[in-house]
Structure 1
Amino acid sequence: MKSLLSTVFRKEMRDHLRDHRSVWSAVGMTLLGPILFGVMFTVMASWLNKDKPLELPVLGRSHAPSLVAYLERSGATLTEPPADYEARIQAGKLDTVLIIPEDYGEDFAAGRTAKVHLVMDNSRNQARTTIRRVQQLLNGYSGLLGAQRLLARGVAPELASPLKVEEVDLSTPERLAASLLSIIPIFLVFAAFSGGMNVAIDAMAGERERGSLESLLLNPVRREALVVGKWLAAVVFAVAATTLCLVAFLLVMNRVPLQDLGVKVRLDPLAVLGLWAGVLPLALMASAGQMLLSTFARSFKEAQTYMQMLSLLPTLPGMVLVLSPVQSQTWMFAVPVLGQEMLVQELMRGEPLGPLPFVLGLVSCAALALGFLAWTARLLRDERIIFGRS
């Protein structure tokens, strides 16, 4: 049986490595997550880069010389806004414009609240950083004036702030990074499911559609050896895709300026090995489940339709964890997909994990994989499955 299993495995690997289009398609789907991650966080870091000069168009600078001087001392470059500044803001060509009304000086001299207008479009994410920086400067100037007015009247400025809240943040850099990088587990799980998908489909539905599965089963071969040999080929591709996805994420995280987002990622070699070992059991289960589903399909195209619906299921636990984080419990690590995504998040948070979560994940995925493989082998004894191509 061992020689037969090895023969089937080598045959499947040789066939699928020759299909360059299928291989590159799997690679492209695997690298999609790291590429999106790199582009998204690079753009976000450029938006939040506080070192770039702040250019602020101001209308009516002559009405508030002290405010203008404060903004310039704070590093803002003040310019004259164009006549069509509202249209330019809506079109995304300007971030914001500060308007100082003519009656600003009268209200200011009388000790009343002087109003200014900050024209913006809050629906544009790229403009929010500039808007927030301008708002911080205006709030700082307002606080400075308020303190000076109280001192001029012999009142301590502290009386206007009876309560001061000092935040004590107990989060570590790893926990902050894990909360921001929570999409990484989703893509790692997706790679484990998509890496061997084409191999599993072609090994069962593809050969069934071409009629080669009938010829293969006419030989004195054990169904179990045939199924396991094909499954191992799919597992190799799934493991390769997961490894490639993890390596790509590590390379991207080292190149993206995450420090501009206040994120510090610290993954030592042991943590990286834990991430890899934590996700790999999904390759066993996913490949077996995909082979089982492909056995029911009458054609390659029909099997692809099933797989497209199946590929949405692994993302659901990850989306739940992103939108509504839950406190991890030991039994959760035994739930396939959910356990792997929680394991990756815990490792990225720097939480101490013993071997139990890894063992639970491996045992549950391996048990399901064995069940799927046994079911597939039993289906290959059914003539309706083997000869039914219509």
Structure 2
Amino acid sequence: MRKLIGTVFRKEMKDHLRDRRSVTSALAGPLIGPVIFAVMFTVMASWFREGKPLEVSIIGRENAPSLMAFLQRQGATLADAPADYEAQIQAGKLDAVLIIPSDYGKDFSSGHTASVQLVVDNSRNQARSTVRRLTSLLQGYSGMLGAERLFARGVAPELATPVRVDEVDLATPERMAANVLNIIPIFLVFAAFMGGMNVAIDAMAGERERGSLEPLLLNPVHRGAVVTGKWLTTVVLACVAIGVCLGAFLLAVKSVPLQDLGVKARFDAAAVLGMLATVVPLAFFASAGQMLVSTYARSFKEAQTYIQLLLLLPMLPGMLLAVSPIQSQLWMYIVPVFGQQLLIGEVMRGQAVGPIPFLLGVVGCAAAAAGCLMLTTRLLAEERIIFGRA
């Protein structure tokens, strides 16, 4: 039996490695995630980079000389706002405009609350860093003046703050990075499905459409050996795609200036091995499921349609975990796809999960893969499947 499986496996590997376009597309697909990650986070880092000077456009600078002096001491560069400042803010040419009304000095001198206006467009993500820094400076200036006014009247400034909250953040750099880099588990799981997709379709639906499946089954080879050999070929390419995707992500994490976003991502050998141990078992289930679908489909094109819809499966749990954090339960790790994405997130956060979640993930994927392979073997015993009849 092992010899027969090895023979089918070698035959399938030779056939698929000859098709360089198919192999190239199978390996290029998993690179989509790292490329998107590198571009997106590089752009975001340029928006939120704290080192660049704060440029503030102002209307009515002469109405608040002390505020202007304070902003300049904090390193802000002041400029007069143009007449069409609203249009320029909406067009993205200005991040924000500070308006000092003419009655600001009167209210300020009389000890009343002096109002200013900050004109922004909150729909523009790239302006948020400037708005956040400017708002922080204005709040700091207001707090400083409030304390000085209380002190001048003989009142201790502490009386205005009866309770002070000091936040103690227990989050490690790995956990903070995992919250920001939550797209990595989604694309790693996606690579497990993407890598062997073309091989699974061609190995079953493609061979049947070319008329080469029937002669293969006429040989004295057990149908289970045929299915297993083809499945192992699909698994190998899926695992290669996972390795390519993970390697590209590691390069992207090192090259992207994540520190400008306040993120310190550190993927050591233990984290990399943990992610591989989590995702590789999923390749066994993904390949078996794709072979089952391509065997059931009546044509190559129909198999492509079904499996492309199947690619939505790894996206759904990742999106659910991103928008609605779930407290992990032990039974969740045995659920294929969902358990893998949950476990990768915990590995990236540096949590000590122990061996049981990894073992449950392997058991869940192995059981699901075995079920798919058994159903695929049974389908090959039906005439309507072998000859493509409706």
**TM-score bracket for the superposition, by shorter chain length:** over 0.9
- Partner Cα distance (2:217, 2:235) in 1: 22
Hey, what does 2:134 align to over in structure 1? Answer: 134
Paired residues for 1:71-220 under 5 Å: 71-220=71-220
Partner of residue 58, structure 2: 58
Q: Helix, strand or coil: the match of 1:385?
A: helix
- Counterpart of 1:284 in structure 2 is 284
Give me the TM-score of the superposition, normalised by structure 1.
Answer: 0.97
Aligned residue type for 1:189: V
3-state SS of the aligned residue for 2:154?
coil
Structure 2 equivalent of residue 263 of structure 1: 263
In 1: Cα distance, 2:14 partner to 2:177 partner? 41
- Contact 1:343 1:357 (C-alpha < 8 Å) held by counterparts: yes
For the 8 Å contact 2:299–2:388, the answer to whether it is kept is: no
Asked if the contact 2:235/2:284 (under 8 Å) is kept, the reply is yes
Residue 8 (str. 1) matches residue 8 (str. 2): yes
CA contact (8 A) 1:59 1:99 kept: yes
| SS across alignment from 1:57 | strand
Q: Using the alignment, how far apart are the partners of 2:262 and 2:115 within structure 1? A: 34
Q: Is contact 1:299–1:389 with CA below 8 Å preserved after alignment?
A: no
Task: Report how many residues are paired.
Answer: 390
1:3 Cα offset (Å):
3.0
| Secondary structure, aligned partner of 1:320 | helix
Runs of 4+ that moved beyond 6 A: none
Aligned match of 2:247 = 247
Deviations 1:104-135 (A, max 9, x none): 11111122211111111111111011011111
Structure 1 residue runs without a partner (length 5+)? none
CA distance in 1, matches of 2:194, 2:343: 20
- The CA distance in 2 between the partners of 1:194 and 1:100, in whole Å, is 57
Shift of 1:360: 1.3
What secondary structure sits across from 1:282 in the alignment?
helix
Segment drifting more, 174-183 vs 63-72: 174-183
Q: Which stretch of the first structure deviates more once superposed, 77-86 or 286-295? A: 77-86
Are positions 1:304 and 2:304 aligned together?
A: yes
Q: Indicate yes or no: 2:388 matched with 1:388.
A: yes
CA distance in 1, matches of 2:354, 2:63: 66
Q: Is the 8 A contact 1:208 1:389 kept in 2?
A: no
CA distance in 2 between counterparts of 1:47 and 1:177 reads 18
Match of 1:45 in 2: 45
2:219 match: secondary structure = coil
Distance 1:238 1:172 in 2: 33
Gaps of 5+ in 2: none
Code of the aligned partner of 1:15:
D
8 A Cα contact 1:56 1:77, kept in partner: yes
- Deviation of residue 220 (structure 1)? 2.0
Q: 2 CA distance for matches of 1:311 and 1:328?
A: 24
Which residue number in structure 1 is paired with residue 325 of structure 2? 325
Percent same amino acid among aligned pairs?
68
Do the aligned partners of 2:224 and 2:377 also contact (CA within 8 Å) in 1? yes
RMSD between aligned alpha carbons?
Answer: 1.3
Structure 1 position 278, deviation (Å)? 1.1
Q: Structure 1 CA distance, aligned partners of 2:131 and 2:271?
A: 39
Corresponding residue number in structure 2 for 1:68: 68
Give, in angstroms, the shift of residue 347 of structure 1: 1.0
Shift in Å, 1:378:
1.5
C-alpha displacement at 1:7, in angstroms?
2.2
Distance 1:99 1:329 in 2: 53
TM-score, with normalisation over the residues of structure 2? 0.97
Partners of 1:127 and 1:268 in 2: how far apart?
A: 34
Which amino acid letter does the alignment assign opposite residue 365 of structure 1? C
Could you say what secondary structure the match of 1:274 adopts? helix
- CA deviation after TM superposition for structure 1 residue 18, in Å: 2.0
- Report the secondary structure of 1:293's partner residue: helix
Whether the 8 Å CA contact 2:383–2:389 is kept in 1: the answer is no
SS class of match (1:170) = coil
Offset of residue 389 of structure 1: 5.0
Distance in 1 (alpha carbons) for counterparts of 2:141 and 2:260: 26
**Which amino acid in structure 2 is aligned with residue 27 of structure 1?**
L
Report the Cα distance in structure 2 between the residues aligned to 1:95 and 1:28, rounded to whole angstroms. 38
Q: What is the SS of the residue equivalent to 1:353?
A: coil
The amino acid of 1:32's aligned partner reads I
Separation in structure 2 between the aligned mates of residue 251 and residue 287 of structure 1, nearest angstrom = 27
Give the distance between the partners of 2:17 and 2:78, measured in 1 at CA: 61
SS of 2:58's equivalent in the other structure is strand
What's the counterpart of residue 370 of structure 1? Answer: 370
